[in-house]
Structure 1
Amino acid sequence: MIFVTVGTHEQPFNRIVEYIDNLKRDGKIHDEVFIQTGYSTYEPKYCKWSKLIPYSEMEKNVADVRIVITHGGPASFIMALQVGKIPIVVPRQLDFNEHVNNHQVEFSMKIAERLGSIIPVVDIEELAETIKNYDYIVADMKKSIGSNNKNFCSDFEKIVQELY
């Protein structure tokens, strides 16, 4: 199964919702697909969908599916990383009136460069090929992120022990 989330930003992200729906229609996606469409105005015809879903359902979907496709909001792709999934990240773009600027493009590219644990897809025309080759692409990628809380506590404990 493939889970797609566009988050809760108030600008529609019709571009990804319609593109995924058309990939399913055209038989380029064989998996079952569920799309959380947010404030998008396009209503999928070939995929299951809901505008918004409870956080617990979001967590379950992310944990249970084969592929997670998200917008470039960090909360969405970090959730996938925390359960050991490598998300495909399609950032919202100013040129398509999906956000107020291109910070999602810049941020997702930096995260991919620094951590190597997400697959950014800036040109949506590359999404079908990325989905098709997903298992091959992720084979050698880092599948999770470390906990900053755990690192902080460990470093803090060392400092406290040095003081004594």
Structure 2
Amino acid sequence: RIVITHGGPASFIMPLQIGKTPIVVPRQHQFNEHVNDHQVEFARNVAQRMGTIIPVEDINTLGDIITNYDQIVAGMGHGMSSNNAKFNEGLEKLVNELY
């Protein structure tokens, strides 16, 4: 039900494609997990610009985020929209205008 992944874009794009809001724990240089903090920066940017992921930089907060996942997701202003939903709305409007 809840997807938790590291901060590589390829890891969290698939959950997004199936309508999930992943918890993203980017690998950090300070823990010798990566050569720099590009995953941290990328996750921050996606969260701020798109509102589609939940970044976790402090692993000590992960338990609370999992516990409150549904409330967190409900309060997010997702920046992505579904092209299918837009198409269906437009088609419904067109059909209603015909009848």
Please give the range of the TM-score, normalised by the shorter of the 2 chains: 0.7 to 0.9
- The answer to whether structure 1 residue 115 and structure 2 residue 72 are counterparts is no
8 A Cα contact 1:82 1:145, kept in partner: no
- The answer to whether structure 1 residue 76 and structure 2 residue 4 are counterparts is no
Distance in 1 of aligned mates of 2:79 and 2:15: 9
8 A Cα contact 1:86 1:117, kept in partner: yes
Deviation track 1:66-120 (CA, whole Å, cap 9, x = no partner) reads 1000100001111110000000000000111101100000000000000001000
Runs of 4+ aligned structure 1 residues displaced above 2 Å come to 140-147
Distance in 1 of aligned mates of 2:38 and 2:2: 24
RMSD: 1.8
Alignment identity in percent? 66
Structure 2: where are the runs of 5+ without partners?
A: 84-99
Structure 1: where are the runs of 5+ without partners?
A: 1-65, 148-164
Distance in 1 of aligned mates of 2:80 and 2:5: 16
- The answer to whether structure 1 residue 138 and structure 2 residue 68 are counterparts is no
Q: How many residues align?
A: 82
C-alpha displacement of 1:139: 1.2
Q: Given the superposition, is the C-alpha separation of residues 73 and 145 from structure 1 closer, same or farther in structure 2, using an over 3 Å criterion?
A: farther
The aligned runs of 1:79-158 (5 Å cut-off) are 79-141=14-76, 142=78
TM-score (norm 1): 0.47
TM-score (norm 2): 0.77
Looking at secondary structure, tell me which structure has more helix per residue: 2
